[in-house]
Chain A
Amino acid sequence: MSTDTVIEVEGLHKSFGEEAVLRGIDFSIRRGEVTSLLGKSGAGKSVLMKCISGLVRADSGRITVNGVTLAGRRRIPPGLSYMFQNNALLDGISAFDNVALPLRERTRLREREIRLRVKRLFQRLDLDEAEDKFPSQLSGGMLKRVALARALALDPEIILFDEPTTGLDPLRKVSVLHMIERYQRQFGFTAVLVSHDLPDALFISDRIAILEAGKIAFDGPPMALTGAAEDLRTTFLPSIEGLRSEVAGIHPVSPDRIGHCHFRISFESLGERAPDEASALPDLRAAAFIRRLRRSAGPGVRLYQAGVWSVYVHFTDAENPPPPARELAARLDKGVPASAADSARPAYRLSLEALEAVNGSTVRATETFAFHLSFSEVSHAQTEN
């Protein structure tokens, strides 16, 4: 197990009665990455997660988490946290006490220090209003954030997310995935997501693994899926396209496309928040800016918002070559209005990180364009949206 590998699974088998669910799983998860574990319903994804977390004992095989081997034992590995599909918050105590619980039970911290830590977590996750409320009094999004706060309470190195978006509407789905992506960057944990029908997870994943018939059928970066076996492509790729249409209401493939690049959008707060900003959805702010960028893209360039935080740039002018990356960036930058006053302190940074660039695109994968925005611009964009 290399130092970069935090979870290593070798030859894992698990059966329930005569039904073999996992039939020799071999894969590993690297430190600091977001890995999505995909598969159809009943493929054994949750069983695999529960084996990794120590909640279910495997029949055979070896699991090593953070250097600790769990073979044959039902034991919770160190530095690992788990966010359950239905949040699994204790419903008899407040949100604050739910988050404080692992600190009270697992550490020797004084109550004052615990309160301080929990309050800090609540502030970072925009949960100030939820402190004294019981789980049944919280909205779906808040419940997810409280569950995430609890998962983060002991500063874990790894968080397993078991179908975090199942049963949510498309906007809520992307909001939750955005939350995971944002806090994964903020807190730096290794994230493993399980999903059965949500290829949108690809947009935040560094790697995906597909579980088919009890084995890992694909393991690699999302873009490598196009080169995967025929049956996997026919199973998963159409659903990705379908999801893009569902989320954005458009199809990202234009018939006149001569090349394209795929960007991941991120929206980062640089300074103090304005008082009314806490309640605004970052996804909606990002969407408002993408609309503006689309208007300024210029001839031969079209922008398609493929997910709430995923945008495709298509080059469509066969007569003229695609503009160089710098020129493209300059054109897009025009879509962001100049600050109301030059002295306005930038409040946010909107980044477009290229994930994929093919067929004559001048943008390189991993190239990032960044735009600085002031709060007044954000408010303006939100109003427009």
Chain B
Amino acid sequence: MYGRMLLEETGKSAIRGVDALGRVTLLFVQSTGLFLFRHFSLSRLTERIYEIGVRTLPLILLVGFFTGMVLGLQGYYTLVRFGSEGLLGPAIALTLIRELGPVLTAIMVVGQAGSSMAAELGIQRNSEQVDALEIMGIETRAFLIGPRLVAAVICFPILTAFFDIIGILGGYVTGVTLLGLHGGLYWANIYNAVGWNDVSGGFVKALVFGVLVVLICCYQGYNTHRQTAAFGARAVSNSATRAVVISCVAILASDYIITSFTI
């Protein structure tokens, strides 16, 4: 009896999951395609670049700097035990460029722009603004979601680059300025250790995370009205929460998958 119920519930969840995956994929293809090829608007794209890129940049710089400083501190005291403190620069740079840069940037964007994106779309859906756009004959996926996805593709690699650079500078402040490591050694080792593969791998991750984050957040907000467990403000809050949680899980899961293919 219980075994059958468990099986049924598992089956239903699996079907819901596949259904959602299909919807998300369709949303991605239609939104991007319609925006780029039929309803392109530079002003709308610029607005979204400002929303995702410019408004998130100060946070990225702040978090990146402190992340680099912490890495510098931890790395220095670990490496000094083995007499390898000269490798502090490459350790920080590779950690940031390969892993922490793309992952933390994506998580910061989720917190700063992703949740507000989901909430904004959820409110627009609940207050019939999306219906109003449809009645006006405006293609809502191209109008609301397409520009955000394209903006994410543009902004995420740039934000990640800023995160990496400011993080390496943070490591320099800790390792060289505070702990007395030789500055020339720090930069020279980074120059020798970091290759194009490391940089491109990081950018691939940034691109994938960007699309995933914006797609998940927009999907949650855009489909707020489909929720059956909550309505109104609660539904919007659920959408924002789910957008953040699912995005973070998706970032880490996809990070593992990409790393396993590119390492």
Interface residues of A (CB under 8 A from B): 50, 53-55, 76, 80-82, 84-86, 88-92, 101-102, 105-106, 150, 154
Asked if B131 and A105 sit within 8 Å, CB to CB, the answer is no
Determine how close the nearest CB of chain B comes to the CB of A201; give it in whole angstroms. 21
| Distance from B246 Cβ to chain A, minimum over Cβ atoms (Å) | 25
Please provide the chain B residues from 168 to 214 with a CB less than 8 Å away from any CB of chain A in the complex.
none
Within 8 Å of chain A (Cβ to Cβ): is B132?
yes
Residues of B within 8 A of A54 (CB): 134-135
How far does the alpha carbon of A105 sit from the alpha carbon of B40 in the complex, in Å? 11
**New A-B contacts (14) at CB < 8 Å, excluding given A76-B135, A86-B128, A90-B132:** A50-B131, A53-B135, A55-B131, A84-B131, A88-B128, A88-B132, A89-B129, A90-B124, A90-B133, A102-B136, A102-B137, A106-B136, A106-B137, A106-B138
A-B contact pairs, 30 of them (CB 8 A): A50-B131, A53-B135, A55-B131, A76-B134, A76-B135, A76-B137, A81-B136, A82-B131, A82-B132, A82-B135, A84-B128, A84-B132, A86-B128, A88-B127, A88-B128, A88-B131, A88-B132, A89-B132, A90-B124, A90-B132, A90-B133, A92-B120, A101-B138, A102-B136, A105-B39, A105-B136, A105-B143, A106-B136, A150-B132, A154-B136
Looking at chain B's contact residues, the main secondary structure is: helix
B120 nearest CB neighbor, chain A only: A92
B residues within 8 A CB of A92? Answer: 120
Q: Give the residue name and chain of the B residue nearest to A153 (CB).
A: B136
**How many residues of B sit at the interface, in one of the four size bands?**
10 to 19
> What residues of chain A lie closer than 8 Å to B143, measured between beta carbons?
105
Contact A105 B138 (CB under 8 A): yes
Query: Most B CB atoms within 10 A — which of A50, A81, A88?
Result: A88
Question: Considering the chains assembled together, what is the distance between the CA atoms of A101 and B137 in angstroms?
Answer: 11
Complexed CA–CA distance, A125 and B70 (Å): 62
Q: Which residues of chain B are within 8 angstroms of A86 by Cβ–Cβ distance? A: 127-128
With the chains together, A54 CA to B134 CA distance in Å? Answer: 9
Chain A residue at minimum C-beta to C-beta distance from B142 = A105
State whether B136 touches A88 (Cβ < 8 A): no
B39 contacts across to A, CB distance below 8 A: 105
CB distance from A187 to the nearest CB of B (A): 17
Q: Which chain A residue lies CB-closest to B137? A: A106
A82 to B136, CA, bound (A): 8
Question: Please, which residue of chain B has its CB at the minimum distance from the CB of A53?
Answer: B135
A residues in contact with B128, CB < 8 Å: 84-86, 88
Chain B stretch 135-153: residues in CB contact (< 8 A) with chain A: 135-138, 143
Is A88 touching B129 in the complex (CB atoms < 8 A)? yes
- Bound form: Cα–Cα A80–B127 in Å: 20
Q: Are B138 and A90 in contact (CB under 8 A)?
A: no
Please, which residue of chain B has its CB at the minimum distance from the CB of A103? B136
Nearest CB of A to B43, in Å:
10
Whole-angstrom distance between the Cβ of A92 and the nearest chain B Cβ: 8
User: In whole angstroms, how far apart are the Cα atoms of A54 and B127 in the complex?
Assistant: 18
Q: How far is the CB of B136 from chain A (nearest CB, A)?
A: 4
A-B CB proximity, top 7 nearest: A88-B132, A88-B128, A102-B136, A82-B135, A84-B128, A105-B138, A88-B129
Q: Which residues of B contact A88 (CB under 8 A)?
A: 127-129, 131-132
The chain B residue with its CB closest to the CB of A102 is B136
User: Are A102 and B127 also in contact (CB < 8 A) when A82-B132, A84-B132, A88-B132 are?
Assistant: no
Which residues 105-162 of B have a CB within 8 angstroms of A?
120, 124, 127-129, 131-138, 143
Q: How far is the CB of B232 from chain A (nearest CB, A)?
A: 12
A85: chain B residues within 8 A (beta carbon): 128
CA distance A76 to B120 in the complex (A): 24
What B residues does A55 contact at CB under 8 A?
131, 134-135
Closest CB in chain A relative to B119 CB, distance in Å: 13
Asked if B136 and A101 sit within 8 Å, CB to CB, the answer is yes
Measured CA separation A150–B120 after assembly (Å): 21
Interfacial chain B residues near A150, Cβ < 8 Å: 132, 136
For A101, the closest partner residue in chain B by CB is: B136
Contact A80–B136 (Cβ < 8 Å):
no
Q: How far is the CA of A86 from the CA of B124 in the complex (A)?
A: 12
Q: Which residues of A contact B133 (CB under 8 A)?
A: 90
A102 cross-chain contacts in B, Cβ below 8 A: 136-138
CA of A94 to CA of B253 in the docked complex: distance in angstroms?
42
CB-nearest residue of chain A relative to B128?
A88
The docked-state distance in angstroms from the alpha carbon of A256 to that of B113 is 71
> Which residue of the partner chain, among A80, A89, A91, contacts B135 with CB atoms under 8 Å?
A80
B135 and A90 contact, CB distance less than 8 A: no
Are A90 and B136 within 8 A (Cβ)?
no
CA distance A101 to B132 in the complex (A): 11
User: In the complex, what's the smallest C-beta–C-beta distance from A77 to chain B, in angstroms?
Assistant: 10
Residues of A within 8 A of B131 (CB): 50, 55, 82, 84, 88
Complexed CA–CA distance, A101 and B144 (Å) = 13
**Distance of A91 Cα from B39 Cα, bound (Å):** 22
A1–chain B nearest beta-carbon distance, Å:
22
Which A residues are CB-close (under 8 A) to B135?
53-55, 76, 80-82
**Residue numbers in A under 8 Å from B129 (CB-CB):** 88-91
CA A50 to CA B127, docked complex, whole Å: 15
A56 to B133, CA, bound (A): 14
Q: Determine the chain B residues whose CB is within 8 A of the CB of A89 once the complex forms.
A: 129, 132
Cα separation A81 to B138 with both chains bound (whole Å): 12
> Contacts of A101 on B, CB cut-off 8 Å?
136, 138
Q: Report the separation of the CA atoms of residues A53 and B39 in the bound assembly, to the nearest whole angstrom.
A: 23
Residue of B nearest to A78 (CB): B137
Query: How near does chain B come to A182, taking the closest CB pair, in angstroms?
Result: 23
Question: How many whole Å from A287's CB to the nearest CB in chain B?
Answer: 34
